[in-house]
Amino acid sequence: MRLKNFNVGFGEQVFKALGDASRIRVLNLLLRNKELCIADLELVLDFTQTKTSRHLIYLKNAGLVTFKKLDQWAFYYIKDEAMDLLQQMFSYLEKDPQLLKDQEVYQTLFSNRELAINRLQQRHFTGL
């Protein structure tokens, strides 16, 4: 679903949400990686859980992100309605050094997680 009406009220919320570098960093990671849990964002951005949650709630209240719960985990992602708008806006920031560094840190953490999962699965199957 796309944004059909971009009114002043919604625009005000979007621009306020984009008025903070931390929220821009969060949105960039969500845009590039589809969905992330709070713990992943904390590690990549080096934020406290409180700061991360506060920014995610702000973005949720602005109508830009939502989440799904899986057990005790909440996975945040960009709402379909806001995707086109944010993709267009972030296309202008694609070479920003801070945003590129955030993505690099995430990729490193993600690859290490995949290695750890593979090792655990190998242990399980080999009986070690």
Q: What is residue 109's predicted lDDT score, i.e. its pLDDT? A: 85
Q: What is the mean pLDDT of each run of 10 residues along the chain (128 residues)?
A: 69 90 97 92 92 96 93 92 92 95 90 65 56
Structure tokens at 107: 């990729």
CA within 13 Å, CB half, 85: 20
Q: What is residue 58's predicted lDDT score, i.e. its pLDDT? A: 95
Query: 20-25 — which CB contacts under 8 Å span 24+ positions?
Result: 20/55, 20/58, 21/98, 22/47, 22/51, 22/55, 23/55, 23/58, 23/59, 24/93, 24/99, 25/98, 25/99, 25/102
Q: What is residue 78's predicted lDDT score, i.e. its pLDDT? A: 96
Q: What is residue 111's predicted lDDT score, i.e. its pLDDT? A: 80
The CATH number assigned to the domain with range 8-126 reads: 1.10.10.10
